[in-house]
Structure 1
Amino acid sequence: MSDHDHVDQSRAAGPVTADDLADGVRLVVALLRQPAALAADWSRPAGTLDWSCWETAEHLADDLFSYAAQLGPQAPPAATHVPFVWRQDAPGKPSNVIFAEREGGPAGMVQVLEACGALHVAMVRTASPQARAFHVFGTTDPEGSAAMGLVELFAHADDLALGLGLDWKAPAAICARVLRRLFPEVPTAVDPWATLLWATGRGELPGRERLTRWRWDSVPR
C-alpha cells in the first residue's frame, strides 16, 4: 500500500517543514511538466474554477511568491500585506503580482511556478521561528506559511489536473500534517487527501455536506 493510500501516524506526526514544501513544489512541477500537460490546452477551465488553467497556474505562482515575500521583512506588517502592486486583468480574474510571459507557453509558466516555489521554500528554511507573516486567515509563522503553500499547491494541482486531463493525488502524510496545522477541526479517520479536498470545497466526505465556503486557521499553535 502506497503513501497515497495509507498514513503511518508516526510519519504524519510533527510540524510541516520546508522539506514538505519542497516536495510539494517538486511534485506539482513534475505533474505540469509531463508531455501531456505541456501539449494540452491551458485556456480550458481548471476544474470547477472560473479561471483557465493558465490563470490558475499563474495564481498559484503568485501565491507562493506572496507567501515568501510576507516572511521577508524583519518587521512584517501586522495588519496588511507587503504593499506590492497587484493587478487584475478583468473582473473575476485573479489579482496577481506575478504574471508569466504568454510567449513562453506552458513550459515557461511551469518555470515561473517552480521559481516562485523555490523562493517560498528558501524563506521558510531561513526565517526565524519568531517571524510572522500577515494573512487574512490569520497572521502566521514559517510553519504555517509552508502549510498554506502546500494547500495552494495541492488543491490547485487538482484543479489543473482536471482541466488538463491528468492524474493527480497528493501524498497522504504531508496532507495529514497540513490538515493538523491549518484545519484542526476536520475528521482525522478519513484519507487525508480526500479530507483536504473536502476542506477546500473540492470533494465529498461521508456524512459531511460539501463545503461552499471554507477557510483555514493559520495562526501559530
Structure 2
Amino acid sequence: MHNAVGGEQVEEAVTHCVALLRTVADRDWEGVTAGRLEWSCRQTADHIPHAFLMYAAQLAGRGHATRVPLRITVAEGTDNAGALQAIEATAAVLVTTIRSAPRAVRGFHPYPFRSANREGFAAMGVAEVLLHTHDITEGLGVAYEPPAELSTFVLTRIFPHVQPGPSPWQTLLWATGRADLPGRAPVTEWCWYNNPVLPTDRLTLEGVTPAAAMDLASGGDGGFTWLTGGPIEGTREGAGIGVKQYEAGVLRPQWGMYVLVRREDDRAVGAMGFHGAPDEDGRVEVGYDLVPDARGHGYATEALRALSAWSLRQDGVRAVTAVIDRANVPSQNVVTRAGFTRVAENEEQLVYELRASRD
C-alpha cells in the first residue's frame, strides 16, 4: 500500500474532469448556477485550482497550527479553456507535493482534527474534482459519472463515518448533500474527516482509516513501515473489527484503532485503540499489542497514558477499561504503570479501570 498515496488518483480525476469540461468550454459558465451551489459554474471551476494550491501549500509548509496565508485566484479575463489549463497545472503541483512528502508529514486542515497527511490531502483533492465537476455538469445539463474506484478512494480516506452504499459515487454525492440515497435521510450539513493523530514523547498514534484497516485485515501493511515481525495478528484482528464497523456505518474515527509509530525512524511498533465509542455509562474499552521487537521499551505504557488521558477529556467519558487475560502479566504491568486499577475478575480475565479525575 506504500505507493498508493494519492497522486495517481488526483491525476486520473483531473483527466476525466478536463476531458469532459473541454467539450462544453464554449458555453456560458458564468451565467449558470452550478448544481445545488450558490456559485456559478465558472466560480466553481475557478475554485478547483485554488483548492489544489492551498492543499499543496499546507502539505509543503508542514504547519499544524494555521492555514498558510495565501490568496490564490485565476487571472481576471481568463476564458473557460484557460480555467481548465489552470486546473491541470495546479493539479500537477499538488501531485508533485504529495509524491515528495515523507509519509509522516502533516499539514494544517481544519476538518476535524486540525491536520492531514499526504493521503488525506490527495483524497480532498480528488473530492474537489469529482464533486465540483458534478456541480458544473449538473448546471450545464451534462451527464457525468467518474470511475467508481475514485469515489471509493475518497470515501475510505476522509468519510470513515459514512456507511458504504451500493454505488460509491451515489454514496459520495449523498454524503455531501448533493443527492438522495434510498433508505437514508437527506444530508444538510457535512464535513470530511481526516484521520486523528496523538503525539507522545517518542511516538505518534495515527488513526487508521478504513482504507488502511482493509489493507491490514487482508494481510497488507496498511501503508506503514513496520518493525520486524509486524504487524502481528492482534493488529490485523483489530483492523478487521474496524472494517466491520465501517461497513455497518458505526465507525467513529477517534474511537477506532491507532497505529503506534516511532518518531525516530517512522517505524510502526504496534497498535492500540478502542473497541467502539463510549457506552451509555461513559465507559470505553481499550486494547493494544506490540511487535515483539518493540516490547520492553515502555512504548505501550507511554501510548496508553496518552490515549487514556485524551479519552477522559472528551465529553461524557467517565472511565477507560481494559480486559486482560490472567496469564498476560506483561499487559497487566502496562495498565498498572498507566494508572489503572483492578476492579473485577473471573477465572480467566482481569478487568482494569482508569476513571476521570472529576469523578
Please classify the TM superposition score into its range, dividing by the shorter chain length.
Answer: 0.7 to 0.9
Per-residue CA shift, 1:60-116, capped at 9, x if unaligned? 11001111111112xx221211111x3xxxxxxxxxx222332x3111111111111
Aligned match of 2:132: 156
CA–CA distance in structure 1, aligned partners of residues 29 and 144 of structure 2: 17
User: Which one of the candidate residues 83, 92, 101 is aligned to 1:127?
Assistant: 101
Amino acid across the alignment from 2:25:
L
Instruction: Summarize the Cα distance change of 1:184–1:15 in structure 2 as closer, same or farther, 3 Å threshold.
Output: farther
- Show CA shifts across 1:28-84 (max 9, x none): 1112111xx1121111111111111111111111001111111112xx221211111
- State the distance in 1 between where 2:151 and 2:29 align: 27
Q: Counterpart in 1 of 2:203?
A: none
- What code does the residue aligned with 1:17 have? G
1:109 is aligned to 2:83: yes
| Aligned position for 2:309 | none
* Code of the aligned partner of 1:124: I
Structure 1 letter corresponding to 2:27: A
Matching residue's letter, 1:41: D
Work out the CA distance in 2 between the residues paired with 1:113 and 1:199.
24
- Counterpart of 1:31 in structure 2 is 20
Between Structure 1 and Structure 2, which shows a larger proportion of strand residues? Answer: 2
Q: Which has the higher helix share?
A: 1
Give 1:121-200 correspondences, 5 Å limit.
121-137=95-111, 138=113, 139-200=115-176
Shift of 1:167: 1.4
Match of 1:202 among 178, 189, 198: 178
CA distance in 1, matches of 2:18, 2:158: 23
SS at match of 2:116: coil
Write the distance in 2 (CA, Å) between the matches of 1:147 and 1:158. 16
2:56 aligned with 1:56, yes or no? no
Alignment of 1:82-121 (within 5 A): 82-84=68-70, 86=71, 97-102=72-77, 104-121=78-95
Question: Which amino acid letter does the alignment assign opposite residue 193 of structure 2?
Answer: D
Q: Distance in 2 between matches of 1:189 and 1:15?
A: 23
Equivalent pairs counted in the alignment come to 192
- Per the alignment, residue 40 of structure 1 pairs with 27
Deviation at 1:177, TM superposition (A): 2.1
The TM-score with structure 2 as length reference comes to 0.51
Gaps of 5+ in 2: 196-206, 209-359
- Is the contact between residue 137 and residue 144 of structure 2 (CA under 8 Å) also seen in structure 1? yes
Aligned-partner Cα distance in 2 for 1:100–1:16: 31
Which blocks of at least 5 consecutive residues in structure 1 are unaligned?
A: 1-13, 87-96
